[in-house]
Amino acid sequence: KNQVEQSPQSLIILEGKNCTLQCNYTVSPFSNLRWYKQDTGRGPVSLTIMTFSENTKSNGRYTATLDADTKQSSLHITASQLSDSASYICVVSANFGNEKLTFGTGTRLTIIP
């Protein structure tokens, strides 16, 4: 069964600090892995998309890594800001085209001043 697990479930850090969120998956055959940011009451917004050949991808203060061998990914947030408070969802796709996505349950990140 295709699964995506994220840790931690929730995280609270001080503004300005860095943090790393983890994602483990068992989706096969792997096509791509995505990280989304979802603000409360809003739809998910794409941060990064990585195929199996990509080890790292950055989007501003967000850097995602992918290890296709161990089926692990991480999302590193640098110099956190209050606006980074949101849920971060790891999503894995098994096929190219209009495929179904397997969603992780998300990490709820709270930045405190």
Among 80, 86, 104, 109, binds another protein (CB under 8 A): 104
Closer to another protein by Cβ: residue 18 or 26: 26
Closer to another protein at the Cβ: 63 or 107? 107
Please identify, among the stretches 18-26, 68-76, 78-86, 95-103, the one whose residues bind another protein according to the rule CB under 8 A.
95-103
Should residue 44 be labelled a site residue for another protein when binding is judged by CB under 8 A? yes
Spatial separation of the C-alpha atoms in residues 42 and 52, rounded to whole Å:
29
Smallest distance, Å, CB 16 to another protein? 27
Q: How many CA atoms lie within 13 A of 61 on its CB side?
A: 13
Q: Going along 2-112, which residue ranges are E strands?
A: 4-7, 10-14, 19-25, 32-38, 45-51, 56-59, 62-67, 72-77, 86-93, 101-103, 107-112
Q: Which of 49, 71, 74, 76 binds another protein (CB under 8 A)?
A: 49
DSSP 51-62: ETT-SEEEETTE
Contact footprint for another protein (CB under 8 A): 36, 41-46, 49, 89, 96-101, 103-106, 108
